[in-house]
Copies of this chain bind each other. A is one copy, B any other.
């Protein structure tokens, strides 16, 4: 499964009005506490991978993200499974993985056509918009579709941020 995703800084107040006018469907609010892990045998900061346990509204999900496959978006291979968060953390630590950082955010999720739109308010970083399409192939076609959509909000390719929240949080520290 590919996650074709574009992220940009965006003021939520204005975005929400526009999303409402165009008929985007509000899905819900999620409170994320994301713990990122690095590996004992290779440095994910170099290989551009990510291993995360997300605690969201009391449930936990483990996610692996492969290196980015595209220079214009955040497209990458992604695997995700629901887990017991505490036990999985213990397993990763026992295997020699270690915590590299924690990102806390509030995410408002909207659906529009085949896109998932996330309005993220990240602790210490500010407000962002992420637009995502899950697909098996055609990175370029889906990326174009996302950028066409973002144009409506005055967001262009030059605004796309490929730096992860984790990297931003670690840079600020």
Tally of contact residues, A, Cβ under 8 A: 23
Pick from B39, B66, B88, B96: contact of A81, CB below 8 A.
B88
User: Are A87 and B81 in contact (CB-based, < 8 A)?
Assistant: yes
Interface string of A29-52 (1 = CB under 8 A from B): 000000000011110000001010
Is A82 an interface residue when CB atoms closer than 8 A count as contact?
yes
Interface string of A122-155 (1 = CB under 8 A from B): 0000000000000000000000000000000000
Q: How far is the CA of A39 from the CA of B92 in the complex (A)?
A: 12
Residues of chain B contacted by A66 (CB below 8 angstroms): 94
Interface residues of A in 59-115 (CB under 8 A from B): 62, 64, 66, 77, 79-84, 87-88, 90-91, 94-96
Q: How far is the CA of A62 from the CA of B42 in the complex (A)?
A: 23
Residues of chain B contacted by A96 (CB below 8 angstroms): 39, 41-42
Residues of chain B contacted by A51 (CB below 8 angstroms): 91, 95
Copies held by the complex = 2
23 A-B residue pairings within 8 Å (CB atoms):
A39-B41, A39-B96, A40-B41, A41-B41, A42-B96, A49-B94, A62-B91, A64-B91, A64-B94, A64-B95, A66-B94, A77-B94, A79-B87, A79-B90, A79-B91, A79-B94, A80-B87, A81-B83, A81-B84, A81-B88, A82-B82, A82-B83, A83-B83
Within the complex, the shortest CB–CB distance from A42 to chain B, in Å, comes to 7
Residues of chain B contacted by A41 (CB below 8 angstroms): 39-41, 96
